[in-house]
Structure 1
Amino acid sequence: MDLPELPELPGDGLPGLFEGTVPPGVYRCDSVGPDVLMQAEAADWIGAVIDLSDVTTKVEFMDRCATGLELPDWFGRNWDALADSLTDLSWWGETNGYMLMTAGWPGFEQADPASAATAVNVFTAAVGYWTVRSAPLTVLLG
């Protein structure tokens, strides 16, 4: 499966996302860290980081999603369950926006390109779902 071409986070970066000058989307970025979560919180966005360091399989990816996103117990650790979780963020609470970030994405993408491509498709569909709602979702792949 070919990996989709993903844009880099535009020059306006995080402030642009929070102000609405950068559209919600799935973006590549150099890195994510605590400062990104602090900026999201300051903008009244809810954010989480999925640590993909040393993740090489779909099973490990799903486990890290469950942990990093603090997914509900009903999360089934498959693509459909991830899609369902990302289109029903009621468990995350009310907010101005949602930000999902990954750390270690390039390593996972290289180790399991098929799963990485499927994850991007799930993320892209979830972003599209939230784009027409009051609280957008953006995914940063770092």
Structure 2
Amino acid sequence: MTRELGGRYTVTLDLHGVTGKAGLMDRVARALALPDWFGRNWDALVDSLSDHTVWPEGAVEQGLLIVVRGWRPYADAEPQEWRTAEDVFAEAVDRTPALTVVLALGGTS
């Protein structure tokens, strides 16, 4: 799902039901409409999140906000893997000032 929020191009990354890295990579690829050549590994993820050429149209000009929902069950089930995902999100944000990633708090529904 995409929409504009606070002037930023906003993408919701819904992780409900994700239980591992493969599911996370599939959801990110789908949410951001990443190209088929996206490698579905941690390095490819940080590179893709930092690469304006693969961002949705309009996101570069407005800035890209990724809202991650439904992440807590995955984080609880795979804490080490989730820490790596958080590190990847943080590195991409550090590389790309136009990118913001937020973890939504709230219910699991």
Structure-1 separation of matches of 2:95 and 2:74: 25
Match of 2:79 in 1: 113
Amino acid at match of 1:140: V
Cα deviation code 1:31-67 (max 9, x no counterpart): xx87xx3324xx1x22211110011111111111111
The CA RMSD measured in Å over matched residues stands at 1.7
Is 1:127 the counterpart of 2:78? The answer is no
Q: Counterpart of 2:80 in structure 1: which amino acid?
A: A
Q: Tell me the percent identity.
A: 42
Name the residue aligned to 1:89. 52
Q: Please give the per-residue CA displacement for 1:59-82, whole angstroms capped at 9, x wherever unaligned.
A: 111111111111111101110110
Q: Does 1:72 align with 2:35?
A: yes
More strand by percentage: 2
Between the two proteins, the alignment pairs up a number of residues equal to 101
Distance 2:24 2:30 in 1: 10
Moved over 6 A (4+): none
Among candidates 26, 39, 61, match of residue 63 of structure 1: 26
Q: TM-score, normalised by structure 2?
A: 0.83
In the alignment, what sits opposite 1:15? Answer: none
Partner of 2:101: 139
TM (norm. structure 1) is 0.65
* Matched letter for residue 82 of structure 1: L
Once residues 30 and 79 of structure 2 are traced to their aligned partners in structure 1, the CA distance between those partners, rounded to angstroms, is 22
The unaligned stretches of length 5 or more in structure 2 are: 105-109
